[in-house]
Structure 1
Amino acid sequence: MVKLKELAESLGLELHGNPDYEITGVQSLEQASSHDLSFITDSKKVESLVNSQAGALIVPPELAEKVPEKNLLLSENPSIAFIKAVEYIAKPYDYPVTGVSEKAFIEEGVIIEENVSIYPGAYIGRNSKIRRGVRIYPGVYVGENCEIGEDSILFPHVTLYRNTILGKRVILHSGAVIGADGFGYVFHQGVHYKFPQVGRVVIEDDVEIGANSCIDRATLGETRIGKGTKIDNLVQVGHNVQVGQGSILVAQVGIAGSSKIGNFVVLGGKAAVRDHIELGDGCQVAATAAISKSYPPGTKLLGIPAYPADEGLKILAATKMLPKMRKKLQKLEKRLNQLEEKE
């Protein structure tokens, strides 16, 4: 429970309304009740604002005069302000420090710093380093010579293969596998010979990786995920891939080995990137697109195979016209045959 005055001061927002009004939760605009905080970003949706039962709302400043009877917190960016409010009120990752469980298995040579929580059933391999404030949930496997940076969270059944490096504040959701062998084989005389995968994975600060996603170790050298990148559930990143800072990989994206993804690239759901290509900074790839060659920074791509968006949209428009064009061609062909018969 928090009073609006305290919340406004904490977030640095201007308050219109009752400073002593108590907020107990956060909720969507449609589902909020009388002591919930919600938000709205579109200044045109005044009707939704009026009809909401929320006890307080974060809104753009221009809406303050339109609903003077509401408790309002004014923000130029309500989405960001609401994110901070949720963190302040709900504290989604604020759990008590439990220390190292007697039922966790800790190998020799492991370094564990202060304020760490390691739950029952976790395994920590030899010579690994667990930095300050880390939380490791039941069923997590950490191989030998790994390092987990400060305040990182490994949810149940995460697997880190040997030599994996995690930066600070990394979040790995259940079932994520970091550092499994890359898919590398050489065909010779009827046999697929496995190329030994002896590299590692490096995950930089503030990366979040969703449930059941896999980041393969490098064949040689390293696979690297850049600072602040966010990876959804069920994503596959192949060996030696380099993903830059602040990129977004949506569910079921697949990136084949040795490709380079720049900074702040967005790959929509089920997008596929072939091996050994490069997408420059700021590229945006539509869902299900298949990228078969490199593209420069800022390119927008869609389709199978992928085309730059302006060209791809023309192709899609032309494709929709094919049934009509086919009928016209059939009619023209019929008339042409009739004319030829008369001759």
Structure 2
Amino acid sequence: MGADPRFFPSAGPRRLAEIAAAAEARFAGEAERIFTDVAPLALAGPEDVAFYEGRRHIAALKATRAGAVLLPAGTEGDLPAGTIALICAAPQLAYARVAALFHPRPRPVPGIHPTAVVGEGATIEEGCEIGPFAVIGARAEIGPGCIIGPHAVVGDGCVLGAGCILRSHASLLHCLAGVAVVLNEGARVGGEGYGFVTTPMGEHVTVPQIGRVILGDAVEIGVNACVDRGAGGDTVLGPGTRLDNLVQIGHNVKTGRGCVIVAQVGIAGSAELGDFVVVAAQAGVVGHITVGSKARVGAQAGVMNDVPPGTDVVGSPAWPARETMRAFARLRQLAAAPKKDGTSGGSP
């Protein structure tokens, strides 16, 4: 059983040869066999393509009714009779590419809805879809083939490259965006940063935030995530960076290419991330520090100091992962050690 067609209509049936080409997979026979969708192993039917990666799913693989399965070499012997093996190096990646054959991103339906508002001097290039109640600010520039969804806002002077998508209720202010940038529902980019000075009397005096947000090509921002504009210079998200839902990026943060920032992460102002940094869920990064390229920050970690490139850190305060695991092991040993009265340590 593939995706519910009410919500995810298929782009149409595909031949096995097309599927294998997209997946960079090899197979035997039946090149013209037709498939209609993708589905999980346990739910797939004879016209669906599924994928298998990891022994924990071996029972589902042996019982699957899928017509074809993407899987690594050496595991095809566990397939039920009649199921075609699509042998590939990275089944999950292959599945993503095959799923995109059946469910490509929606193309814009060119036109401006009568309820949309377009400001003076704004330019909208050909092939754009401007949805109901969308607002395009004065002097904004919308590149070709963009989709601006219902109630989405593009602020005055903002620039969007070709093929950008703002889903419903997303807003983009004080921003220059590259090509193929995506803001998911409710994302807020370019809002005022958290900048103020407190007087001796306890009054908070706002520091005007006069920087921009620069989004590189193919940046994607999750549902209800927030990216503050710079206080003076710019907040910058490098090409290919992905923000999950409910992420907070403070003013003047800079990331390199391809960073992955997972749900509920908070990164404080002026922190800098190198290329391909991963920050796992609910971690926090203080301001004015550097996280080096290819470093990885564990879930719920509190990063308070610079992280060298390629280093994995966990815990709060965050330490290198191996040091933290050794420290935890030592704590367990101490907790279990006998007390002076002869009783065992640790929890009762």
TM-score, with structure 2 as normaliser: 0.89
2:27 equivalent in structure 1: 15
Which of 1 and 2 has greater Rg?
1
Query: Paired residue for 1:73, among 76, 86, 89?
Result: 86
* 1:40 Cα deviation after fit: 1.3
Correspondences of 1:86-97 after superposition (within 5 Å): 86-91=99-104, 93-97=105-109
Spell out, residue by residue over 1:173-212, the C-alpha distance to the aligned partner (whole angstroms, 9 max, x if none). 1111001111111112311111110001011011111001
| C-alpha distance in 1 between matches for 2:54 and 2:48 | 19
Correspondences of 1:207-218 after superposition (within 5 Å): 207-218=219-230
* 1:13 Cα deviation after fit: 3.2
* 1:44 Cα deviation after fit: 8.8
2:181 equivalent in structure 1: 170
| C-alpha distance in 2 between matches for 1:323 and 1:61 | 47
- Matched-pair contact (CA < 8 Å) for 1:26–1:32: yes
Correspondences of 1:165-244 after superposition (within 5 Å): 165-190=176-201, 191-244=203-256
Equivalent residue letter for 1:225: L
Q: Secondary structure at the match of 1:276?
A: coil
2:159 equivalent in structure 1: 147
| C-alpha distance in 2 between matches for 1:271 and 1:21 | 47
Gaps of 5+ in 2: 1-12, 344-348
Equivalent residue letter for 2:97: K
Equivalent residue letter for 1:177: R
- Matched-pair contact (CA < 8 Å) for 1:153–1:172: yes
- Matched-pair contact (CA < 8 Å) for 1:268–1:285: yes
Equivalent residue letter for 2:189: I
Q: Secondary structure at the match of 1:38?
A: strand
- Matched-pair contact (CA < 8 Å) for 1:32–1:38: yes
Spell out, residue by residue over 1:302-326, the C-alpha distance to the aligned partner (whole angstroms, 9 max, x if none). 111111111111222223344434x
| C-alpha distance in 2 between matches for 1:107 and 1:142 | 10
| C-alpha distance in 2 between matches for 1:277 and 1:212 | 25
> Percent of aligned positions with the same letter in both sequences?
36
| C-alpha distance in 1 between matches for 2:293 and 2:227 | 21
TM-score, with structure 1 as normaliser: 0.90
Equivalent residue letter for 2:200: Q
| C-alpha distance in 2 between matches for 1:45 and 1:155 | 35
1:53 equivalent in structure 2: 65
The verdict on how the C-alpha distance between 1:218 and 1:96 changes in structure 2, with shifts beyond 3 A counting, is: closer
**Is the aligned partner of 1:331 residue 2:334?**
no
| C-alpha distance in 2 between matches for 1:198 and 1:264 | 28
Q: Whose helix proportion is higher, 1 or 2?
A: 1
| C-alpha distance in 2 between matches for 1:46 and 1:257 | 46
2:10 equivalent in structure 1: none
* 1:151 Cα deviation after fit: 0.8
| C-alpha distance in 2 between matches for 1:286 and 1:3 | 42
1:122 equivalent in structure 2: 134
- Report how many aligned residue pairs link the two structures: 329
- Matched-pair contact (CA < 8 Å) for 2:24–2:94: no
Spell out, residue by residue over 1:15-45, the C-alpha distance to the aligned partner (whole angstroms, 9 max, x if none). 3242333211111112212211101134796
* 1:152 Cα deviation after fit: 1.0
Q: Secondary structure at the match of 2:235?
A: strand
Q: Secondary structure at the match of 2:191?
A: coil
* 1:96 Cα deviation after fit: 4.8
1:280 equivalent in structure 2: 292
Gaps of 5+ in 1: 334-343
RMSD: 2.0
| C-alpha distance in 1 between matches for 2:304 and 2:24 | 47
- Matched-pair contact (CA < 8 Å) for 2:23–2:88: no
| C-alpha distance in 2 between matches for 1:45 and 1:197 | 51
| C-alpha distance in 2 between matches for 1:276 and 1:10 | 43
| C-alpha distance in 1 between matches for 2:18 and 2:250 | 47
Correspondences of 1:18-37 after superposition (within 5 Å): 18-37=30-49
- Matched-pair contact (CA < 8 Å) for 2:108–2:147: no
- Matched-pair contact (CA < 8 Å) for 2:108–2:127: no
Equivalent residue letter for 2:161: G
